[in-house]
């Protein structure tokens, strides 16, 4: 709220300690101090009109409501963050299935990216940027069946580093006769921990990092 909108001020010439006054913004305490100062320094022969005084009180009331709304939003945000963290922690020790086909590159380090081959075969991995342009093609010959990490080193097809961002990938595979092999992006397994990389939470499954939003199923691990 601008000081100019409240009428004349009576700050001391050497009072530079208040950053709110320097920026032309008021908190609730400064507002009350200013209002009291106006009342003390008003001309007795020309006192502040009741309509003006009422308007300033209404401004203060609005300011109080804004502070309360802001405090409530912060409380709700903390609650939501805590609920989200509790949900992730609740996955530890459980089996999950995911359909994650994304990769995060942060400070040159690659996080995420995994796929599962139904049988042994030759693999072609295509990496795409956020605009859908293919920046890298990776070939892996004679990979065994099972789960694999996307072996992306953060460089394009010309060997140049690509910027930190989110990337997606697609995987194709063929057997020794050239026939297609079913491939599933993402993986399944036991969640052993929750970690943060680049400010983003991941579920840890073996050596893989899984985006929580790609989890399609959570179940208790079967015991014999």
| pLDDT tens string 35-52 | 677 666 665 656 555 556
Q: What would the pLDDT profile of 119-152 be if each residue is shown by its tens digit?
A: 999 999 999 999 999 999 999 999 999 989 898 9
Compare 5 and 114 and report the one with higher pLDDT: 114
Do residues 135 and 103 make contact, with C-beta atoms less than 8 angstroms apart?
no
Question: What share of the chain has pLDDT > 90, as a percent?
Answer: 30
pLDDT at 78: 46
Contact by Cβ (8 Å): 48, 55: no
Kindly report the CA angle at 186 between 181 and 192, in degrees rounded to 5?
135
pLDDT band for position 29 (cuts 50, 70, 90): low
Share of the chain above pLDDT 70, in %: 62
Averaged pLDDT score across all residues of the chain: 75
Which has more pLDDT, 195 or 10? 195
Spell out the domains of the chain, with CATH numbers in brackets. 3-87 (no CATH), 94-220 (2.60.40.4070)
Does the pLDDT of residue 153 top 70, yes or no?
yes
Stronger pLDDT, 61 or 199, i.e. the higher one: 199
pTM of the model: 0.52
* 98, 213 contact by CB (below 8 A): no
Ramachandran area for residue 94 (φ above 0: left; ψ -120 to 50: alpha; else beta) = beta
Give the whole-angstrom CA distance, residue 83 versus residue 174.
Answer: 43
* Per-residue pLDDT reduced to its tens digit, 156-208: 999 999 999 989 999 999 999 999 999 988 878 899 999 887 778 888 888 77
b/e sequence 150-177, b meaning 16+ C-beta within 10 Å: bebebeeeeeeebeeeebbbebebeeee
59: pLDDT confidence band, cut at 50, 70 and 90?
low
């Amino acid at each position: 709220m601008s000081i100019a909108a409240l009428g004349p001020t009576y700050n001391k010439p050497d009072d530079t300690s208040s950053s709110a006054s320097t920026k032309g913004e008021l908190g609730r305490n400064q507002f009350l101090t200013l209002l009291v100062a106006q009342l003390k320094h008003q001309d007795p022969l020309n006192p502040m009109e009741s309509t003006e005084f009422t308007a300033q009180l209404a401004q203060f009331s609005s300011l109080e409501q804004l502070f309360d709304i802001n405090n409530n939003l912060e409380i709700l945000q903390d609650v939501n963050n805590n609920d989200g963290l509790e949900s992730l922690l609740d996955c530890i020790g459980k089996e999950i299935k995911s359909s994650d086909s994304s990769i995060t590159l942060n400070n040159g380090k690659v996080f995420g990216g995994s796929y599962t081959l139904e049988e042994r075969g030759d693999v072609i991995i295509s990496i795409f940027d956020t605009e859908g342009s293919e920046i890298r093609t990776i070939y892996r010959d004679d990979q065994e069946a099972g789960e694999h990490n996307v072996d992306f080193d953060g460089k394009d097809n010309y060997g140049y580093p690509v910027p930190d961002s989110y990337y997606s990938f697609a995987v194709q595979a063929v057997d020794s006769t050239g026939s297609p092999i079913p491939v599933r992006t993402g993986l399944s397994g036991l969640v052993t921990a929750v970690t943060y990389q680049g400010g983003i939470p991941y579920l840890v499954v073996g050596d893989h990092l899984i985006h929580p939003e790609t989890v399609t199923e959570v179940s208790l691990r079967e015991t014999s």
